[in-house]
Amino acid sequence: MLKPEAEDGQRSLADPAFRADVLAGLARRPRAIPARWFYDRQGSELFEQITDLPEYYPTRTEIGILEKLCPTLCEHVGQGRAVVEFGSGSSAKTPILLRSVVPSAYVPIDISGDFLRASSKTLSAAFPDLLVLPFEADFMRPLTLPRTIADAPKLGFFPGSTIGNMTPLMATDLLRAMRASLGEGAMLLIGMDRIKGADILVPAYDDAAGVTAAFNMNLLARINRELDAAIPLDAFRHVARWNDDRARIEMHLEAVRDIKFTIDGQTFAMTAGETIHTENSHKYGARDARILLRAGGWTPVAEWTDPDGLFAVYLAEA
């Protein structure tokens, strides 16, 4: 997820796709910028801090579930599968899985090559006998996996409830792409956050220490840094709201006063109360999750949750 800065410490040239998404997203109504642009160096560091917040239950809850289920996971998946992790990031949850399924190889896939290589190095040091094959790619599209693992049955790993950041349509497309990439006989271990009361959900995305607010506001700071803009950050505030109709937390940046700013010669005027929609985090009830998996071409075979039913991990087969 993390995109490193240029080695000489200079501001790296803006990614043309970032520029295009920002300009198009601010021009449309409702205004929206894709959440993937949160994750520059500052954003990735802030996200790591979020995962430790008392209000943000998903990370520690999923780790607790994985620690409980992994010792018996090989009863379901056998041994010797090649583990393919989608959007591996810092691979923080991976050691729990690798210790139990004794894979023939581990293929972490991430769009950020430098970050991928660094985390693969750390993992290789912890598992010296494991064949680690880092794969720099956008996993949203069907992939041709390394030939070395062509004949091995695969276990896909997609933790963190990242699937929740996609609309159900995108999530279905992704699950289908994963099925195509992993091939016949594949299995998938996937984390999904459950629907629960807004009293738990909203603070998880609007914590008392303001870390999630800083994470959201960093998107504007990134626009200023990389696109030479001068958006006054104090003209915006972080908003997290539960959209019950669509079963998702939405994050927005709301203008607190009428504001005008220019990016690339294009002027944007926002009135007080208008927002830029920056993220969706969909939550899935037990049945919803199974339907989503089936729509994506997977058959659910087992599921695990925590004692409070906050989060769930699903095992599915192709």
Which residues within the stretch 185-214 sit at the binding site for ligand AVI (CB under 6 A)? 205, 212
Report in angstroms the alpha-carbon separations of 263 from 11, 32, 37, 228, 305: 17, 15, 16, 7, 46
User: Using the rule CB under 6 A, which residue among 58, 134, 159, 168 binds ligand AVI?
Assistant: 58
User: Using the rule CB under 6 A, which residue among 156, 160, 168, 300 binds ligand AVI?
Assistant: 160
Interface with ligand AVI, residue 161, by CB under 6 A:
yes
Interface with ligand AVI, residue 165, by CB under 6 A:
yes
Q: 264 exposed, middle or buried (CB, 10 Å; 0-12, 13-18, 19+)?
A: exposed
User: Would you say 63 or 180 has its CB closer to ligand AVI?
Assistant: 63
Q: 111 exposed, middle or buried (CB, 10 Å; 0-12, 13-18, 19+)?
A: middle
Tell me 15's DSSP state. Answer: P
User: Using the rule CB under 6 A, which residue among 143, 281, 298, 312 binds ligand AVI?
Assistant: 281
* Shortest distance, position 211 Cβ to ligand AVI, whole Å: 9
| Phi and psi angles of residue 179, each rounded to the nearest 5 degrees, phi first | -60, -45
Interface with ligand AVI, residue 90, by CB under 6 A:
no
- Of the listed pieces 21-29, 78-86, 156-164, 227-235, which binds ligand AVI according to CB under 6 A? 156-164
Interface with ligand AVI, residue 278, by CB under 6 A:
no
Interface with ligand AVI, residue 284, by CB under 6 A:
no
Place of tokens 């659910």: 300
The answer to whether the CB of 246 falls within 8 A of the CB of 281 is no
The answer to whether the CB of 195 falls within 8 A of the CB of 285 is yes
Residues at the interface with ligand AVI (CB under 6 A): 50, 58, 160-162, 164-165, 205, 212, 279, 281
